[in-house]
Amino acid sequence: MPLWLTYALLSAVMASLVAIFGKIGLQNIDANSATAIRSVIMALFLLGVVAVQGKFAQLGEILVQKKALSFIVLSGVAGALSWLFYFLALKYGKVSQVGPIDKLSVVIAVILAFVFLGEKISWINAAGVAMIAIGALLVAVK
C-alpha cells in the first residue's frame, strides 16, 4: 500500500472520530468555545510532535518565507472557519448527515485544484468526483 494511501486512510478514520467525539462533547456547550478549546489542544499536540521530531528550527524557516507563510495563514484561517462551521453543524444536526455534506469538500477541492492549480482530471476521475457528490447528498437526505 502506498504511504500516501496509508496516511489518507488514517486521516479518514481520525476525522470520523472527530465527528463522533465532537457530537458527544457538544451536547450542552457552545460550539465555538468547544472549537477554540479543540484548536488549543491541537496546537499543543502538534508543537509536541514537532519537538519530538526535533524540527523546531523549521518553524523559524517557515516564518521568514513570506509567500509560504501567507498561504499557511490563509489555510489556517480557512481551517478554523471550517471547524467552526463543522462543530455548529454537528451541534444542530446528525453526524450521519453532517459528515457526508462535509465531505463535499473533496469535490470542491478537486474542482479548485483543476481551476487554480492546473491539476488534470480524467473522465474516470470526474465520474468518481460526481459520484462522491451524489453519494454525499443521498446520504444526507432525510
Report residue 43's pLDDT band, with 50, 70 and 90 as the boundaries. Answer: very high
Joined grid coordinates for residue 29: 456547550
Joined grid coordinates for residue 102: 462535509
The alpha helices in the chain, defined as continuous H runs, are 3-25, 31-53, 56-64, 66-92, 95-102, 104-117, 123-140
Alpha-carbon gap, residue 108 to 118, rounded angstroms: 14
Q: How distant, in Å, are the alpha carbons of 42, 85, 87, 117, 141 from that of 93?
A: 24, 12, 10, 34, 12
Q: Name the DSSP letter for residue 84.
A: H
pLDDT for position 1: 81
Alpha-carbon gap, residue 91 to 93, rounded angstroms: 6
Q: What percent of the chain has pLDDT over 70?
A: 100
Q: Tens digit of pLDDT for each residue in 47-84?
A: 999 999 999 889 988 999 999 999 999 999 999 999 99
Grid cell 519530538 is found at 52
Of 56-60, 107-111, 120-124, the least confident = 56-60
Q: Are the C-beta atoms of 95 and 23 separated by less than 8 Å?
A: yes
Grid cell 462543530 is found at 87
Joined grid coordinates for residue 35: 472549537
